[in-house]
Amino acid sequence: MKKNIIIAQAKSLINEENNLYANLANLSALFKEYLPDTNWVGFYLVDFENKNLVLGPFQGKVACVRIPFNKGVCGKCYTDKKTIYVENVHKFPGHIACDSASNSELVIPILDKDKVVALLDIDSVKFNRFSEEEINSWTNIVEEIFKDFKIKK
């Protein structure tokens, strides 16, 4: 994986733009380019007022608009404040099937001062799509990109 190249490209995309949705749209498109065998790559933003996750920019088929904090893989990622990888989503209790073609899922929290403000959600049609090395690399990529770029609450 070209982790340093992805980080450099991502930072150059969002470096001089302050619009959150424009930046997340470009990042979802960029990440999709580097993620073969994925059918959905996008963001969920934390809606503190309504106590749920709301759909942000993405690449893929239509998606669930709102996800309760305690539901599905995204809800678990929000609650646990750590990367969650599910090799087979059909065996995950409470999985939310927005796209029935998805078989594995990787969700990475975006933190601001130890508070989850958004999630990167990646779905694949393949079972066991991600290796441990890829999971660690994508977690590091997200941490590096969002350490300076703040998502306003």
Across residues 66-93, what is the average pLDDT? 94
Those residues whose C-beta lies under 8 Å from the C-beta of residue 65, and which sit 6 or more positions away, are 54, 55
pLDDT digits (tens, 9 = 90+) for 81-113: 999 999 999 898 877 777 777 999 999 999 998
The CA distance from 35 to 21, in Å, is 21
Predicted TM-score (pTM) of the model is: 0.94
